């Protein structure tokens, strides 16, 4: 199945999609690819807000803002590996045994699957600016991400039982 089809299917049944992903070939390139593409989409999602900020404060050019955002996105790469480790440890504390690979796939797939909503959040921030609407959309994005991550960790734990 195509990744875009899996993303759409994740909104209907995240555990089913995650279980199918785990049944596939196990190699570290898969979660790393999910993370890189998710971060690339997150970077693109920042462009409307960066353009708005550059228009409102022209003393800092758009290219400078975009370069700084790109570097910040790259710097987030190891942070997500640490977050996957923390998710694995939290699952272990809850009595669930999850391998490191499964914890990384759960987190990185959740990030990639929520990326369409992150693009929507970027548009809201770009067109409407910071405010209640952007906050509500951001909260919705986080809630969906948390549900996807939880479903991935849950499916991984069930696969080990």
Burial 109-135 (b: 16+ CB within 10 A, else e): bbbbbbbbbbbebbbbbbeeeeeeebe
Q: What percent of the chain has pLDDT over 70?
A: 98
161 compared with 79, residue with greater pLDDT: 79
Smallest Cα–Cα separation from 102: which of 41, 142, 161, 43? 161
Q: Are 111 and 35 in contact (CB under 8 A)?
A: yes
User: What is the residue extent of each domain of the chain?
Assistant: 3-160
Q: What is the pLDDT of residue 160?
A: 53
Smallest Cα–Cα separation from 152: which of 90, 75, 79? 90
User: What is the Cα–Cα distance from 46 to 103, expressed in whole angstroms?
Assistant: 27
pLDDT digits (tens, 9 = 90+) for 80-102: 999 999 988 888 888 788 888 89
User: What is the Cα–Cα distance from 90 to 136, expressed in whole angstroms?
Assistant: 27
Written as one string, the DSSP assignment of 60-127 is S-HHHHHHHHHHHHHHHHHHHHHHHHHHHHHHHHTT----HHHHHHHHHHHHHHTHHHHHHHHHHHHH
Instruction: Give this prediction's pTM.
Output: 0.89
What DSSP character marks residue 55?
H
User: What is the Cα–Cα distance from 93 to 79, expressed in whole angstroms?
Assistant: 21
pLDDT reading at 140 higher than 60: yes
Structure tokens at 153: 């960790």
């Amino acid at each position: 199945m195509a990744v875009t089809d899996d993303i759409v299917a994740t909104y209907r049944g995240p555990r089913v999609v995650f279980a199918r992903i785990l049944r596939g070939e196990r190699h570290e390139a898969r979660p790393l690819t999910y993370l890189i593409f998710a971060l690339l989409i997150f970077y693109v999602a920042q462009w409307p807000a960066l353009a708005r900020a550059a228009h409102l404060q022209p003393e800092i050019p758009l290219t400078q803002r975009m370069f700084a955002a790109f570097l910040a996105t790259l710097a987030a790469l190891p942070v997500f590996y640490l977050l996957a480790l923390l998710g694995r440890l939290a699952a272990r504390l809850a009595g669930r045994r999850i391998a490191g690979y499964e914890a990384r796939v759960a987190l990185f797939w959740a990030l990639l699957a929520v990326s369409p909503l992150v693009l929507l959040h970027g548009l809201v921030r770009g067109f409407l600016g910071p405010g209640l609407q952007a906050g509500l959309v951001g909260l919705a994005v986080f809630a969906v991400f948390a549900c996807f991550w939880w479903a991935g960790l849950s499916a991984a734990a069930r696969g080990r039982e």
